Chain A
Amino acid sequence: MNEYNIVIASVGGQGGLTLSRIIGQAALLKGYRVRIGETLGMSQRGGIVQSYVRIGDTVESPIVGEGEADAILGLEPVEALRAARRYANNNTLIIVNTEPIHTITTIAGREKYPPLLDILDELRTISQNMIAINATEYAKNKGLPYSTNVVVLAVFASKTNIMEPEYYIKGIKTFVRRLTKENIELFNDVLRNVNKIMTMFSQ
Chain B
Amino acid sequence: MSLAERVLAEPGKRVLLMGNEAIARGVIESNVKVASGYPGTPSSEIIMTLAPLSKKVGMYAEWATNEKVAFEIALGAAMSGIRSLATMKAPGYNVASDSIVSAAYTGVNKGLVIVIADDPGPHTTQTEQDNRWAAKLAKLPMIEPSNVQEALDYVKKAYVLSERLQLPIIYRTTTRVNHTVSDVVVGEFINEKQEVFVEYNPERYIRASMSWNRRRHEWLLEQLSKAEKYASELGLNRIEGEGEDCILTSGVSYTYVKENLKRLQIDASIIKLELTYPWPEKFLLDNITKCKRILVVEELDPYLEEHLRQTVQRHGLELEIWGKNEAGIPLVGELNPTIVYNAFLRFFNLNSTIKNNPQKNRVNKVRLPQRPPPMCPGCPHRGSYMGLLKAIQKSGYRKREVPIMGDIGCYALSLEPPLEAIWTEHAMGASIGLALGIKIAGYDKPVIATIGDSTFFHAGMPALVEAVNKNIDLLVMILDNLSIAMTGHQSTPESTITESGRKVKPVKIEDVVRGIGVEYVRIVDPFNLEEVVEAVKDALNKPGVKVIIARRECALQAWRRGISYKPPVIDRSKCTNCMACVRATGCPAIIDAGGKPLIIEEQCYGCNLCAQVCPFDAFVLRDNPLLKVDEHE
- Report A's interface with B, CB cutoff 8 A: 11-12, 20-21, 24-25, 28, 32-48, 58-68, 78-79, 81-82, 85-86, 88-90, 101-114, 118-119, 121-122, 125-126, 145-146, 173-174, 177
B180 and A62 contacting across the interface, CB-CB below 8 Å = yes
Q: Is the beta-carbon distance between A43 and B255 smaller than 8 angstroms?
A: no
Q: Please, could you name 13 A-B residue pairs with CB atoms under 8 Å apart, sorted by A?
A: A37-B180, A45-B588, A46-B588, A47-B371, A58-B262, A65-B337, A67-B359, A79-B371, A85-B359, A102-B591, A104-B374, A104-B416, A145-B602
Judging by beta carbons under 8 Å apart, are B1 and A11 in contact? no
A103-B370, A104-B374 given; A60·B358 CB < 8 A: no
| Residues of chain B at the chain A interface (Cβ within 8 Å) | 1-2, 14-16, 41, 123-124, 147, 176, 179-183, 252, 255-256, 258-259, 262-263, 336-338, 341, 355, 357-359, 362, 364-377, 410, 412-413, 416-418, 485-486, 556, 579, 582-583, 586-588, 590-592, 602
Report whether B124 and A61 are in contact in the complex, using a CB–CB cutoff of 8 Å: no
* A41–B176 CA distance with the chains assembled, in angstroms: 14
Main secondary structure of the interface of B (DSSP, over half): loop
The CB with the most chain A CB atoms within 10 A, among B364, B366, B372, B579, is that of B366
Q: Which of B176, B357, B374 contacts A37 (CB 8 A)?
A: B176
Question: Which residues from chain B contact A44 at a C-beta distance below 8 Å?
Answer: 376, 410, 485-486, 556
Given the complex of chains A and B, what is the CA–CA distance between A64 and B338 in angstroms?
Answer: 9
Residue of B nearest to A171 (CB): B16
| A20 contact set on B, CB distance < 8 A | 181
Please tell me if the beta carbons of A43 and B374 are within 8 angstroms of each other in the complex.
yes
Q: Knowing A33-B183, A41-B123, A108-B417 touch, does A102 contact B588 (C-beta < 8 A)?
A: yes
Asked if A107 and B1 make an inter-chain contact with CB atoms under 8 angstroms apart, the answer reads: no
**Are A90 and B369 in touch, CB under 8 angstroms?**
no
**Are A65 and B336 also in contact (CB < 8 A) when A41-B373, A60-B255, A111-B370 are?**
yes
Q: Which residues of B contact A68 (CB under 8 A)?
A: 337
8 tightest A-B CB contacts, nearest first: A43-B373, A47-B373, A61-B255, A36-B181, A62-B180, A111-B369, A60-B255, A65-B337
| Beta-carbon contact of B362 and A113 below 8 Å | no
Q: Given known contacts A11-B371, A28-B16, A104-B586, is B364 in contact with A122 (CB within 8 Å)? A: yes
CB distance from A183 to the nearest CB of B (A): 16
Q: Smallest Cβ distance from B284 to chain A, in angstroms? A: 23
User: Does B358 contact A78, Cβ atoms closer than 8 Å?
Assistant: no
Question: Which of A39, A107, A119, A126 has a CB less than 8 Å from the CB of B586?
Answer: A107
A174 to B17, CA, bound (A): 12
Residues of chain B contacted by A34 (CB below 8 angstroms): 16, 181-183
Docked complex Cα distance between A28 and B13 (Å) = 12
Q: Once the chains are docked, how many angstroms separate the CA of A12 from the CA of B372?
A: 11
B183 contacts across to A, CB distance below 8 A:
24, 28, 32-34
Please name all residues of chain A whose beta carbon is closer than 8 Å to the beta carbon of B370 when the two chains form the complex: 103, 105, 111
User: A45-B376, A104-B588, A105-B369 are known contacts. Are A110 and B417 too (CB-CB below 8 A)?
Assistant: yes
Residue in B337, B359, B368 whose CB lies within 8 Å of A61: B337
> Are A78 and B369 CB-contacts (below 8 A) given A34-B183, A46-B376, A107-B582?
yes
Cross-chain contact A63 with B336 (CB below 8 angstroms)? yes
Give A61 Cβ to nearest chain B Cβ, in Å: 4
Known: A62-B182, A103-B372, A107-B592. 8 other contacts (CB 8 A): A21-B181, A39-B123, A60-B255, A67-B359, A78-B368, A107-B583, A111-B369, A145-B602
Kindly state the separation between the CA atoms of A10 and B438 in the bound complex, as whole angstroms.
Answer: 41
Q: Measured between alpha carbons, how far is A40 from B96 in the docked complex, in Å?
A: 27
